[in-house]
Amino acid sequence: MNGSTIEVKKLSAGCGAEVLGVDLRNLTNSQMETVRQAYVDHGVIFFREQTLTPEEHIAFARRWGDIDINKFFPANGQYPEIAEVRKEKEQKTNIGGGWHTDHSYDASPAMGSILLARELPDDGGDTLFASMYAAYEALSDGMKKTLGSLRAVHSNAIAFGAAGFYKNSDQAGGFKGEGLVGEASHPVVITHPESGRKALYVNPGFTQRFEGWTDMESKPLLDFLYAHAVRPEFTCRFRWAPGSIAFWDNRATWHYASNDYHGHRRLMHRITIAGAPLG
């Protein structure tokens, strides 16, 4: 795909594409449409050597929709739209260190997240992505039929509640909103509102159980889906560099932040784009 000097280059067969030859500070309408189509087609897109100020990061995000201000993450000072994804040298716990998709616990889950590298370790800290299109399409017809009749309950309490993972880790001081936890129910198989493709919509980070099933009844099938969805052929891996940006579609991908840089600081700025109910 080419358009107005832009090249879209697939990162792997599973998901993801790098968008080359673009300055996100000065996107023309034509270039924006090329970028938008790449986002829809590939589930996650990557940009290199972007020198965005916080104001420019926010302006780019607003071209996609309303900004969903995170109620749990530490905000970036004077920019409440920007959440900080930070790990200090002395910390052992990172943010996002397990497969998940953002905001599936909301009644209207986030459309996407735009993550910009600010400070990086010399090595490590890659982010992995998995395509929920590919995961769904590789299932048997029988499994697709079964899942098509199910809904799942998603909750943020296990991650962000008072007894949750982050409040009981060395990241606890940066998190807030433990009294704002809640849950939502979504179809297990969604039809993406822009691509029209079907995608698997459960994730290990926030899915609790199938609606109408107990946790124990749900666990074997959920565990199968979680193992299936991260088969190597469905995934890609992104190595960060200064000025790198990843922009992923929360409705079509999972992601996983590698925690392999202990003793080094890593700071990323994330803006989340609001979404709509899924069906």
Question: What are the E-state strand segments in 54-194?
Answer: 75-76, 79-87, 112-119, 127-131, 151-155, 183-187, 189-191
Q: Which two structure tokens, joined as six digits, stand for 211?
A: 């609606």
State pTM to two decimals. Answer: 0.94
Distance CA 5, CA 133 (A): 29
Instruction: Look at residues 123, 61, 104, 13 and name the one whose alpha carbon lies nearest to residue 247.
Output: 61
Q: Answer whether 33's CB lies under 8 Å from 61's CB.
A: no
Which pLDDT tens digit goes with each residue over 141-188? 999 999 999 999 999 887 777 766 787 788 877 777 666 778 999 999
Q: Is pLDDT of 2 > 50?
A: no
Is residue 77 pLDDT above 90, yes or no?
no
Q: Is 100 a catalytic residue?
A: yes
Q: How confident is the model at residue 1 (pLDDT cuts 50, 70, 90)?
A: very low
pLDDT in tens, 190-235: 999 999 999 999 999 999 999 999 999 999 999 999 999 999 999 9
Query: What domains can be seen in the chain, in order of their start residue?
Result: 71-240+247-273 (3.60.130.10)
What's the pLDDT at 38?
A: 97
The DSSP code for 240 is: -
Of 57, 86, 100, 103, catalytic = 100
Do residues 148 and 155 lie in contact, with contact meaning Cβ atoms separated by under 8 Å?
no
Active site residue 255: yes
Point out the catalytic residue in the list 42, 103, 209, 255: 255
Q: Is residue 99 pLDDT above 60, yes or no?
A: yes
Active site residue 123: no
**Set 68, 102, 106, 249: catalytic member:** 102
Q: How confident is the model at residue 267 (pLDDT cuts 50, 70, 90)?
A: very high
